[in-house]
Amino acid sequence: MALAAKGCVEVSGTALTGMAGGPAYSATEFKCGAKLLLVLQRQTGREGNLPVWSTIDQLTIAKPSPRHELLQPCYCSSSRFPDDAVFAIGRMVVQPDGSYRSDNVVKAWRVDIKHERLAAIPVDGVLCALDPAD
Asked if 30 contacts 45 with a C-beta cutoff of 8 angstroms, the reply is no
Domain chopping of the chain, boundaries: 2-130
Asked if 3 contacts 21 with a C-beta cutoff of 8 angstroms, the reply is no
Q: State pTM to two decimals.
A: 0.84
Q: What is the pLDDT of residues 115-134, one digit of tens each?
A: 999 999 999 999 999 876 65
Say whether pLDDT at 57 is over 90: yes
Name the H helices within the chain: 2-5
In this structure, how many other beta carbons lie within 10 angstroms of the beta carbon of residue 98? Answer: 10
Say whether pLDDT at 5 is over 50: no
Asked whether the CA dihedral 12, 79, 19, 112 is positive or negative, the reply is: negative
Q: What is the pLDDT of residues 103-112, one digit of tens each?
A: 889 999 999 9
Q: For residue 29, which of 59, 50, 51 has the smallest C-alpha distance?
A: 59
Counting other chains too, the contacts that 13-16 makes at CB distance below 8 Å and 24 or more residues apart are 14/72, 14/73, 14/74, 14/85, 16/73, 16/85, 16/111, 16/113
